Amino acid sequence: MDFNSTVKGSLLEGFYPAGWDMQKIDACCEHKPEEIFERQDFWNKDFTPIMAKNVQEFDVMMGHEIANEIKKANEEGRKIVFILPVGPMGMYKWAVYFLKAWNVSCKNVWCFNMDEWADGEGNTITGEASFQSAMENAFYNPLGELTVPVEHRNFATKENLPTYPEKIGALRAEGAKLVLVYGIGRMCHIAFWEPMIGGEFDTNEEWKAQPYRIGVQLHPLTIEQNAITSFKSRTTLVPCRANTIGPGLMFRADYAIGGADGALGRGMQWQGMSLWMTLRYGPDRWVTSSFIPTLPGKLFFLEELAGPLVPEAN
């Protein structure tokens, strides 16, 4: 007795994206933890999953990877462009630490925040709950004199988000490297590019060409994920829409740095299924993160997310 055998006629019938193959998802999750490193045919030859023993190790690894990309760009005398998330957040503390320890300036860094809470018209949230505030407090301000110039910082407002493609394109034309930094959502979104959007297109190619969305609807489980991880369980504070970049920007990155740290303690977690789907489902527009392994880069994850994804005996 499980989800697939009992969903018909239940309150969850039709709740999950129509394009999700729940039997295939179940098969993705049946693997032994050590099998998570087995390379798949659709993986980029330079894509690597990397396991961290705990959150502290995870944060250091991700922060070092970001800082090292900036350091290398400076050494090579070129510009570097980052598409940045608000979460995982611990990585920014360590990126700041390494950049300060190495005395590496971010004057040749351009940053584009991938998303922001919004309403249906794309008006964005302000104050402490905004992603702009989170980025300033976690990354830009602590860097002090080494920080990213204010004019190089981009946030996903309804006025600025439509300028992302032209701005990023111009920087890449000047030789800048584009680096995607990301977390994986419960619904396998990257940024807030939700799986339901896959149903609007006939082909993966059409879907992959989309650069951004204003006021996109968020899946109920995305709301609950953020209620748990960012709003101390208070669903009533979580906006139901957001502005977000799309596949047309994020999956054109030259390099990707990703993280999955969704453990809750006492053996509970929310991200193991999403991690295994990312690695094993295969590129499909209904599962946004399934395209991540097609990019060169590193996906850092907590050891416990590899499973086994089965109930623990009491």
CATH number of the domain residue 76 falls in: 3.40.50.1360
| Residue 289, φ and ψ in degrees, nearest 5 | -70, -10
* Terminal-to-terminal C-alpha distance of the chain: 19
Residue 13 lies in a domain: no
DSSP secondary structure string for all residues of 34-83: GGGG---TTS-TTEEEEEESSHHHHHHHHHHHHHHHHHHHHHTT--EEEE
Number of domains the chain is built from: 1
Q: Which domain holds residue 256?
A: 47-306
Two structure tokens written together for 184: 């994986």
- Cβ-proximal residues to 76 (8 Å cutoff; 6+ apart), any chain: none
Consecutive 10-residue averages of pLDDT for the chain (314 residues): 96 97 97 97 98 98 98 98 96 98 98 98 91 96 98 98 98 98 98 98 97 98 96 96 98 98 93 98 98 98 96 70
- The model carries a pTM of 0.97
Q: What is the pLDDT of residues 171-199, one digit of tens each?
A: 999 999 999 999 999 999 999 999 999 99
Residue 155 lies in a domain: yes
Residue 121 lies in a domain: yes
